[in-house]
């Protein structure tokens, strides 16, 4: 199976998950809370901030030709209106190191984390945020744009809406259990409602002390329809700045997309879910140069909604079904409505068994190849992730990486899957 010479085969990371000590960000502040939702703080992460050159060389040695990483807004603008030139030169060094090693840098401008000050000003529910994001984009593009060809404005622009839908489903489940007579504060899900409510009140008080607001509207907080419009406006404002300051750059956003499969009776629910996570964004991305497709598994739906993973199915550490075929299905479905370039900006599995990772990659890439053979404009594949890293609230327990990291020494140990992925380059 061969891919064109100009087909990008690379790995992806996100600043907060790999760099370490992102101390001006909203996530860092939340991780330090007494009533934190995080299993552990990100801390030094994998020290990628200092070890990026070694990590880029590992990709080059394996034969990868592209690297997707994010520039951290909280480093560039740690205080509102104060921009840090030293941090820009850090990311310029990362970009130049990529190019010196024959690796195409793909920059993401926002990958879930925001400067803490933005959240204190209303975050991703404030009408001011698109303006702040455009100003940050301009600062970055005026300095780094000449070195770049691809920029993702926002990672998983639909994440907040997806989180809101999950939160709503969960609330309905809890209410149903309470109405079923389990009103003693302890329900069969092993949760103590009274303690949960007490925690929420204490956490709101703590957030007020830390952020000056009791409701922190982070990028991955449950998004209202108005907040979703703000995210879209931020994308379009950044796209306009990129086109003005660096017109040679191809830009777009990425979306978290599931291979939604309807069982008999589930067709309506499945169509509604797909409309909410994808079709809804078509007007916002119609003028983009590409769409970043991010897929990990499938979702089965019947008339009641999404179903648990099928009995006996192989699971990943994230409790996702091991289902690499999902990627081809999603690419084909997306291409029905989005006629622009498609780039797989994230696909991968959390597993301690690297043989399952290579099997996953082989199956996913054969699906991508089939799409290309049928004329779909797929231009690249980025495996998530280069390094075992900080999986947000789950901490370091999830191992997605092509490279293992001993965080006590920060020693890197490439897994066989890294060379396996690289072997597809230019084949
Ligand atoms: C996401 C983010 C990544 C995750 C990855 C594994 O899609 O949620 O882009 O930061 O770590 O997807 O869950």
Q: What is the pLDDT of residues 186-224, one digit of tens each?
A: 444 455 666 667 788 899 999 999 999 989 999 999 999
Ligand 1 and 346: CB distance under 6 A: yes
Q: Which atom of ligand 1 is nearest to the CA of 392?
A: 11
- Report whether residue 155 contacts ligand 1, using a CB cutoff of 6 Å: yes
Name the percent of the chain lying above pLDDT 70: 96
The two structure tokens encoding residue 415: 């897994």
C-alpha distances out from residue 284 to 134, 149, 272, 333, Å: 16, 21, 18, 18
Cβ(54)–Cβ(81) below 8 Å: no
Ligand 1 mean position to 264 CA, how many Å? Answer: 31
Residue 34 to residue 57: CA distance in whole angstroms: 39
Let me know: does 152 contact 108? Beta carbons within 8 Å. Answer: yes
Atom of ligand 1 nearest to the CA of 256: 7
Does ligand 1 come within 6 angstroms of the Cβ of 399? no
**Cα separation of the two ends of the chain:** 7
Residues 6+ positions from 204 with CB-CB distance below 8 Å = 214, 215
Cβ-count burial 317-330 (b if 16+ within 10 Å, e if not): bbebbbbbebbbbb
For 217-262, what is each residue's pLDDT tens digit? 999 999 999 999 999 999 999 999 999 999 999 999 999 999 999 9
Pairing state between β 341-346 and 378-384: parallel
> If you measure from the C-alpha of residue 296 to the centroid of ligand 1, how many angstroms do you get, rounded to a whole number?
9
Per residue in 44-86, pLDDT tens?
999 999 999 999 999 999 999 999 999 999 999 999 999 999 9
Q: Which of 31, 72, 156, 328 does the annotation list as catalytic?
A: 156
Distance (Å) from CA 182 to ligand 1 centroid? 35
d(CA 74, CA 343): 27
For 192-207, b/e burial (b = at least 16 CB within 10 A) is ebeeeeeeeeebeebb
The candidate with the shortest Cα–Cα distance to 405, out of 41, 14, 48, is: 48
Ligand 1 close to Cβ of residue 293 (< 6 A): no
By most ligand atoms within 8 Å of CB, the mutation choice from 294, 295, 326 for ligand 1 is: 294
The pLDDT of residue 186: 44
pLDDT value for 427: 54
Res 81: pLDDT: 98
Q: C-alpha distances in angstroms, 81 versus 45, 75, 239, 245?
A: 27, 12, 20, 19
Taking the model in full, what pTM does it have? 0.95
Does ligand 1 come within 6 angstroms of the Cβ of 347? Answer: no
Mean of pLDDT over the chain: 95
Q: How far, in Å, from the CA of 19 to the mean position of ligand 1?
A: 15
Q: Across 128-256, where does the E strand assignment appear?
A: 150-154, 250-252, 254-256
308 CB neighbour count, 10 Å cutoff: 9
345 in contact with ligand 1, CB cutoff 6 A = no
Catalytic status, residue 156: yes
Q: Are 395 and 38 in contact (CB under 8 A)?
A: yes
Q: What is the pLDDT of residue 183?
A: 53
Q: What distance in angstroms lies between residue 46's CA and the mean position of ligand 1's atoms?
A: 16
Does the Cβ of 108 fall within 6 Å of ligand 1?
no
Point out the ligand 1 atom lying closest to the alpha carbon of residue 17: 10
Is residue 385 reached through a cis peptide bond, with omega within 30 degrees of 0 on the bond before it? yes
Q: How many CB atoms lie within 10 A of CB 333?
A: 15
Do the Cβ atoms of 252 and 219 come closer than 8 Å?
no
Edge to edge, what strands does the sheet with 259-262 contain?
259-262, 298-302, 305-306
CA atoms of 149 and 341, how far apart (whole Å): 14
- Is residue 217 lining ligand 1, measured as CB closer than 6 Å? no
Minimum-distance ligand 1 atom for the alpha carbon of 254: 9
């Amino acid at each position: 199976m061969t891919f064109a010479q100009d087909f990008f085969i690379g790995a992806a990371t996100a600043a907060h998950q790999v760099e370490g000590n992102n101390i001006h960000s909203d996530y860092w502040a939340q991780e330090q809370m007494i009533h934190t939702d995080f299993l552990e703080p990100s801390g030094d992460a994998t020290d990628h901030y200092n070890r990026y050159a070694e990590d880029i060389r590992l990709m080059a040695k394996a034969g990868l030709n592209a690297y997707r990483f994010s520039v951290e807004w909280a480093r560039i603008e740690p205080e509102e209106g104060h921009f840090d030139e030293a941090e820009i030169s850090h990311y310029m060094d990362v970009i130049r190191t990529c190019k010196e090693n024959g690796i195409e840098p793909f920059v993401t401008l926002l990958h879930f984390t925001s400067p803490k000050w933005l959240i204190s000003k209303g975050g991703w529910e404030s009408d001011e945020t698109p303006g702040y994001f455009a100003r940050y984009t301009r600062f970055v593009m005026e300095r780094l744009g000449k070195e770049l060809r691809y920029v993702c404005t926002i990672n998983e622009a639909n994440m907040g809406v997806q989180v809101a839908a999950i939160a709503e489903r969960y609330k309905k489940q809890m209410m149903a259990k309470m109405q079923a007579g389990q009103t003693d504060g302890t329900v069969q899900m092993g949760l103590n409602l009274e303690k949960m409510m007490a925690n929420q009140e204490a956490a709101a008080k703590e957030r007020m002390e830390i952020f000056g607001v009791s409701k922190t509207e982070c990028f991955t907080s449950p998004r209202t329809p108005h907040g979703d419009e703000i995210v879209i406006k931020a994308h379009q404002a950044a796209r306009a700045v990129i086109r003005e300051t660096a017109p040679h750059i191809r830009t777009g956003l990425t979306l978290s997309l599931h291979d939604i499969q309807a069982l008999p009776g589930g067709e309506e629910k499945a169509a509604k879910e797909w409309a909410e996570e994808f079709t809804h964004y078509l007007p916002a991305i119609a003028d983009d140069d590409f769409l970043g497709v991010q897929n990990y598994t499938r979702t089965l739906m019947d008339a009641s909604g999404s179903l648990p993973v099928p009995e006996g199915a192989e699971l990943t550490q994230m409790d996702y079904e091991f289902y690499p075929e999902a990627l081809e299905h999603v690419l084909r479905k997306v291409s029905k409505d989005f006629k622009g370039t498609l780039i797989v900006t994230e696909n991968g599995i959390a597993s301690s068994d690297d043989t399952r990772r290579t099997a996953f990659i082989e199956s996913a890439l054969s699906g991508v190849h089939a799409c290309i053979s049928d004329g779909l404009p797929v231009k690249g594949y980025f495996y998530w992730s280069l390094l075992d890293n900080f999986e947000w609230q789950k901490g370091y327990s999830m191992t997605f990486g092509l490279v293992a990291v001993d965080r006590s020494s920060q020693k890197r140990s490439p897994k066989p899957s890294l060379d396996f992925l690289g072997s597809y380059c230019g084949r």
